[in-house]
Copies of this chain bind each other. A is one copy, B any other.
Amino acid sequence: MKKNLVIFFLTTFLVSSSLADARQNDLLNLVEVLNDNGTITTMQYEELKDGLSANTPVQKDPEITDVQVSTKGGIEIATCDGQYAFELGGRLMVDAAFYDQDRNDHGNGTELSRVRIDIEGVLHGDWGYELGIDFADGGADIKDAYVSYDAFWPAKIQIGQFKEPFSLEALTNSKYITFMERALPHEFAPGRSIGVGARSHGDVWSAAAGLFGEAFDDDVKDEGDEGWGMTGRATFSPLHSETRVMHFGAAASFREPNDEKKVRFNQRPESHITDIKYLDTGKIDHTDRVMKYGLEAAGVFGPLSLQGEYISTNVSRDGGSEDCSFDGYYVYVSWFATGETRPYKEKKGGFGRIKPKSKNGALELAARYSMMDLNDGSITGGKEENSTFGVNWYINPHTRLMANYILVNNDKHADADGDLAGNDDPKIFQARFQIDF
Contacts and interface: CB of A to CB of B under 8 A. Distances in A.
A274 interface: yes
Interface string A96-137: 100000000111111110010101011110010101010110
Interface stretch (A73-81, A198-206, A231-239): A73-81
A16 B17 contact: yes
A145 B115 contact: yes
A274 B8 contact: no
A27 B19 CA distance: 13
B131 A64 contact: no
Contact of A71 (B3, B26, B39, B274): B3
A142 to B, nearest CB: 6
B10 A433 contact: no
Given A44-B33, A435-B147, A23 B55 contact: yes
A69 B5 contact: yes
B15 A57 contact: yes
Interface in A1-35: 1-20, 22-27, 29-31, 33-34
Contact of A15 (B13, B61, B142): B13
Contacts of A78: 71
Contacts of A71: 3, 67, 77-79, 84-86, 121
B159 A94 contact: yes
A220 interface: yes
A428 interface: no
Nearest to A216: B112
A178 to B, nearest CB: 21
A70 B220 contact: no
A267 to B, nearest CB: 15
A338 interface: no
20 contacts: A3-B67, A3-B70, A3-B84, A5-B67, A11-B57, A11-B61, A13-B16, A20-B23, A23-B27, A30-B31, A72-B123, A73-B122, A73-B129, A107-B222, A109-B219, A109-B220, A112-B161, A117-B131, A124-B398, A135-B140
